[in-house]
């Protein structure tokens, strides 16, 4: 019985969500000790995001008013126990509009950031890897777009496309393609020179393989950080577009649109119509910024200058 050889320790399985979770928890607690303040910044950001995501998923838990109901209460009544953020000029509940408006802005911002990442990352990879005239021309175009005020570009696109959720997403996405392109291209250029890429060349790996299996995985870590910061930026751009009336058709609750509505009644001192939607935009953007900065500090301290 005892002559049986001892079994070797368990090897990590190739597919094991539990193992991933464990290593994530380990990484998490390790980084929590090393980067104390960054860790807290990240957690604070995550909490804010979680709260607002909860609003988008379960709006009924937060309010029982309908954001479009024009008989929710009196016209422009100040915050009270019944309407904690008051009512607007069309007698709609401001808090309900804040809760339901989260869906619009969060959806547009995340979709736009992902879309520009999906376009920008492959372009950056190819451009950095291929080099030559292709790289030069593409870089020049992207640099021009990058140095140009993004909001003006978004305004031009939104004005041409007309109002609509899809259109505003496209308009916001266009602005951030150069961000990903420049980041990924720069990373690709430096990783291209690494020894392991040279080794891959030496063993005869195809160019597609090198790009996909050797360079891409090393680029993607920084992209995650930028994605979070980028969503924060996209939130502000979406809010700006709908504030100036280029965003969404009426009927969709949206913070930027509510702000421009509130602006009309500001001279009569209706403070609640502008305070709360703006506060939410700031909180949401701040949440993603804090998450991104915390992640950046922990994953790659040299990415952002402190």
Please write down the long-range contacts of 152-155, taking CB distance under 8 Å and 24 or more positions apart.
154/237, 154/240, 154/241, 155/241, 155/244, 155/246
Q: Number of C-alpha atoms within 13 angstroms, CB side, residue 294?
A: 22
Distance CA 105, CA 253 (A): 9
Secondary structure (3-state) at 93 = strand
Only one of the segments 102-110, 152-160, 199-207, 208-216 lies at the binding site for other proteins (rule: CB under 8 A); that segment is: 152-160
Distance CA 135, CA 138 (A): 5
Only one of the segments 70-78, 95-103, 180-188, 241-249 lies at the binding site for other proteins (rule: CB under 8 A); that segment is: 241-249
Query: Closest separation between CB of residue 243 and other proteins, Å?
Result: 5
- With beta carbons less than 8 A apart as the criterion, state whether 255 and 236 touch: no
Only one of the segments 13-21, 25-33, 49-57, 244-252 lies at the binding site for other proteins (rule: CB under 8 A); that segment is: 244-252
- With beta carbons less than 8 A apart as the criterion, state whether 113 and 230 touch: yes
Q: Which is nearer to other proteins, 102 or 285 (CB)?
A: 285
Q: Of residues 19, 74, 131, 162, which one binds other proteins by CB under 8 A? A: 162
Restricting to residues 201-240, which ones interact with other proteins according to CB under 8 A? 232, 236, 239-240
Q: Of residues 68, 151, 220, 299, which one binds other proteins by CB under 8 A? A: 151
Query: Closest separation between CB of residue 188 and other proteins, Å?
Result: 22
270's tokens: 């209706």
SS3 content of the chain, % helix, strand, coil (to 5): 75, 0, 25
Q: Which is nearer to other proteins, 72 or 154 (CB)?
A: 154
Contacts with other proteins, 78-117, as mask; x by CB under 8 A: ----------------------------------------
Distance CA 209, CA 211 (A): 5
Site for other proteins, rule CB under 8 A? 37, 140-141, 143-145, 147-153, 155-157, 159-162, 232, 236, 239-240, 243-246, 259, 262-263, 266-267, 269, 271, 274-275, 278, 281-282, 285-286, 289-290, 293, 305-306
């Amino acid at each position: 019985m005892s002559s049986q050889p001892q079994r070797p320790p368990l090897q990590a399985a190739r597919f094991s969500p539990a193992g991933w979770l464990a290593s994530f928890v380990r990484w998490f607690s390790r980084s929590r000790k090393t980067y104390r303040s960054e860790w807290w910044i990240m957690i604070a950001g995550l909490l804010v995001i979680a709260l607002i995501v909860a609003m988008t998923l379960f709006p009924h838990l937060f309010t029982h008013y309908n954001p479009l109901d024009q008989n929710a209460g009196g016209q422009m009544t100040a915050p009270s126990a019944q309407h904690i953020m008051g009512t607007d000029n069309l007698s709609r509940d401001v808090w309900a509009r804040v809760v339901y408006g989260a869906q619009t802005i969060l959806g547009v911002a995340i979709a736009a950031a992902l879309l520009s990442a999906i376009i920008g990352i492959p372009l950056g990879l190819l451009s950095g890897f291929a080099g030559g005239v292709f790289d030069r021309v593409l870089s020049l175009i992207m640099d021009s777009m990058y140095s140009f005020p993004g909001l003006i570009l978004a305004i031009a696109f939104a004005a041409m496309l007309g109002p609509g959720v899809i259109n505003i997403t496209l308009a916001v996405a266009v602005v951030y393609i150069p961000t990903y392109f420049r980041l990924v291209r720069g990373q690709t250029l430096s990783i291209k020179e690494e020894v392991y890429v040279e080794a891959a060349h030496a063993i005869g790996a195809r160019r597609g393989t090198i790009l996909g299996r050797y360079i891409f995985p090393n680029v993607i870590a920084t992209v995650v950080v930028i994605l979070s910061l980028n969503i924060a930026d996209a939130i502000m751009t979406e809010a700006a577009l709908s504030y100036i009336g280029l965003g969404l058709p009426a009927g969709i609750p949206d913070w930027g649109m509510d702000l421009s509505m509130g602006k009309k009644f500001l001279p009569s001192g209706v403070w609640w119509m502008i305070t709360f939607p703006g506060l939410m935009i700031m909180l949401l953007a701040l949440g993603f910024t804090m998450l991104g900065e915390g992640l950046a500090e922990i994953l790659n301290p040299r990415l952002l200058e402190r």
